[in-house]
Amino acid sequence: MCILYMAEPGSAAEWRQVFSQQAPELDFRLWPDAGNPDEVQYIIAWEPIPDLMQRFPNLKALYSAGAGVDQFDLSQLPEHVSMVRLIETSMADIMAEYVVFSVLALHRDIFDYQISQRERCWTPLPIVPASERRVGIMGAGNLGLVALDRLRPFGFQLSAWNRSYKEVPDGRCYVGREELYDFLEQCDILVNLLPLTPETQGILNAATLNRLPQGAGLVNVARGAHVAEEDLLQALDGGRLGGAVLDVFDQEPLSPDHPFWCHPRVLVTPHIASNVQVKGAVAVITANVEREQRGLPLLNVVDRSKGY
């Protein structure tokens, strides 16, 4: 069984080492040394691969080296080839860490204090107890549910918005477009963890941002294309939003002249909220190889009707 690694070259040595420890039976090959392409059954990639099926006619599964698959054109993948997300528990833990950090920063008015610091102003603000702060997560998938779980001990009022109903312990799940505005109207801090699909592209725009309570905070750890950046800047400048913690952008890297860099109410990080954890990812792949041999459905397969 042969697996070809075509993702980030800088991590290839780690993948090779983890495969040799956790799955020595898999013939791990590193692009461009693919050997005989007819032997390649599995591919790990982050970018779309042109002429994929012509080049690797015996492909059985394409593994996205991350949680998102929006970069791939799923319509080009034959039905018998599974598209799999390499999402696993440590990736979700790392993402939850970033979400907790961002929510706490917004909850404790860190943007106001940074502005005061620059002006050398000693300006204490009233402390809002966590029990009075409403935190909503858009996207109650694997990552969203873990983030909610990690936020719970702080005592926030939690909610989620999702395409289908999900149990949110001690909180409410708002479902579908019909409940989107009701959800937004009660989010003092909004965290975006949605998959990027044609339905969610540009979902954070003037109309939706204006539904947030005055002075709300935004955390975007999903995709830049969820956000209409001009509308976000206007919402920040007009005071509708009090701050935004942004890890993802429409264009990455963010261009040096982008207004987000210097905006006093924006924290920019370079798409580091979480990333694929190689040990966990290899465990998903080996579990899937075994499941395939036993005729069981694979883990983390993308539902093409939903696009994630």
Is 141 or 171 the residue whose CB approaches ligand OXD more closely? 141
Residue of 68, 202, 215, 280 interacting with ligand OXD (CB under 6 A): 68
The catalytic residue among 29, 107, 163, 223 is 223
Distance CA 44, CA 23 (A): 15
Whether 271 is a known active-site residue: answer yes
User: Which among 7-15, 62-70, 165-173, 226-234 is the span making contact with ligand OXD, rule CB under 6 A?
Assistant: 62-70
The angle subtended at Cα 307 by Cα 164 and Cα 189, nearest 5°, is: 55
Whether 223 is a known active-site residue: answer yes
Residue ranges in 205-264 that form contacts with ligand OXD under rule CB under 6 A: none
The CB-side HSE value for 236 (13 A sphere, CA atoms) comes to 24
Least distance from ligand OXD to the Cβ atom of residue 66, Å? 2
- Contact flag: residue 66 with ligand OXD (CB under 6 A): yes
- Contact flag: residue 275 with ligand OXD (CB under 6 A): yes
Q: Which long-range contacts (CB under 8 A, 24 or more apart) does 145-150 make?
A: 146/89, 146/92, 146/93, 146/95, 146/96, 147/92, 147/95, 147/96, 147/99, 147/100, 147/191, 147/193, 149/96, 150/96, 150/97, 150/99, 150/100
- Contact flag: residue 67 with ligand OXD (CB under 6 A): yes
Is 158 or 281 the residue whose CB approaches ligand OXD more closely? 281
- Annotated active-site positions, please? 223, 271
Binding interface with ligand OXD (CB under 6 A)? 66-68, 275-276
